[in-house]
Amino acid sequence: MAHEDNSKEKIVFVGDSRVRRGNGFVPPPDYSAYPGKSEAFIPNFLLKEWMVGVVVLVGILVLTISEPAPLGFPANPGATVIPVPDWYFLFLYQYLKLPYASGDYIVLGTMGVTGVAFGSLLLAPFLDTGRERRFYRRPIASSLMFLSLASIVYLTNSAWTEYKHEMAATGQVPEDVQREEKAAENRAKGLPTSSAVQAKEVVIVDKEDPAMAAYQKAGCVACHAADMKGAAGPSLRGVGDKHDKAGIITIIKEGYNNKMPPMYDTAINAGLTDKDIDHLAEWLAKQKTEQ
């Protein structure tokens, strides 16, 4: 990104911006080009930055070891939980609860004040166009910023105090604390410590029944799989919840919704008797999720 010497542009930067563009030849930046005690970025200053980085990294590690990241219980839409955003959104959250920023005035809250505040922050250089840089010589910009900072501190504090009060009033304990305690209790008893919801597998009822062999023999396995969990066809585990014995016999004889062909003849050809099929249907009707 070298700048050309013969540039006619109004503003020309030469390394450190304090160096004005002189007339004629501008020497390339090196140590001697700068007044004061400037330093080379590599290696001198980078070494100092690296040291600061190491100190910060150690700080973060100490924090992560002493305060593990919180985790509550799995999301459950039916739970009664006081919603609270991450701490840096608390001020906005609290602000949108104010009477003139909520309810009928919610547009004023979200678009009006918030929009103007963040919009003017985004466009600050185009609103505060004076050449003066010192903050005490820019009373309007600075006082608006101080006012915003004060309100952010106030709103964050009142949001947090309110949340604490609500928790105390309803006798709730933060869920991450509850989970820790529950896990510690279970650990002491030698039980599993997980709070995750375990997916229940539907089991095959009466797996030893001769109907299981008939199921294999009749060719049902081709679509419903040997473990009855389904392949081209749907799972038959828990099929008893949907169809009774008579319904299942009808399905075997006539097919189902044009998706499953009639299987009666196939079953007879495979060597099953009417009695076997009747028993198979009876057994399938017993396949219920809950016993």
List binders of another protein among 27-46 (CB under 8 A).
29, 31, 33-34, 36-42, 44-45
* Residues contacting residue 236 through CB under 8 Å, at least 6 positions apart: 220, 224, 228, 230, 284, 287
- Between 79 and 213, CB nearer to another protein: 79
Restricting to residues 41-70, name those near another protein by CB under 8 A.
41-42, 44-45, 48-49, 52-53, 56-57, 60-61, 63-65, 67-70
Provide the residue type at 65 as one letter.
I
Residues 169-208: x/- map of binding to another protein (CB under 8 A)?
Answer: ------xx------x---------xxxxx-x---------
Q: Which of 79, 78, 117 is nearest to 96 (CA)?
A: 117
Contacting residue, 7, 58, 135, 274, with another protein by CB under 8 A? 135
**Least Cβ distance, residue 224 to another protein (angstroms):** 24
**Least Cβ distance, residue 255 to another protein (angstroms):** 33
Q: Assess whether the previous peptide bond of 43 is cis (omega < 30° from 0).
A: yes
Alpha-carbon distances of 222 from 188, 202, 246, rounded to whole Å: 48, 20, 23
Residue 24 to residue 8: CA distance in whole angstroms:
12
Restricting to residues 239-268, name those near another protein by CB under 8 A.
none
Number of residues near another protein (by CB under 8 A) = 88
- Between 36 and 171, CB nearer to another protein: 36
Residue 82 to residue 200: CA distance in whole angstroms:
30
**Least Cβ distance, residue 158 to another protein (angstroms):** 17
- End-to-end, the C-alpha distance of the chain in Å comes to 75
**Least Cβ distance, residue 106 to another protein (angstroms):** 4
Contacting residue, 6, 24, 25, 77, with another protein by CB under 8 A? 77
> H or E element: which one contains 57?
helix 46-66
Alpha-carbon distances of 273 from 55, 88, 280, 281, rounded to whole Å: 81, 72, 11, 12
- Between 12 and 212, CB nearer to another protein: 12
Restricting to residues 88-117, name those near another protein by CB under 8 A.
88-89, 93, 96, 106-107, 109-111
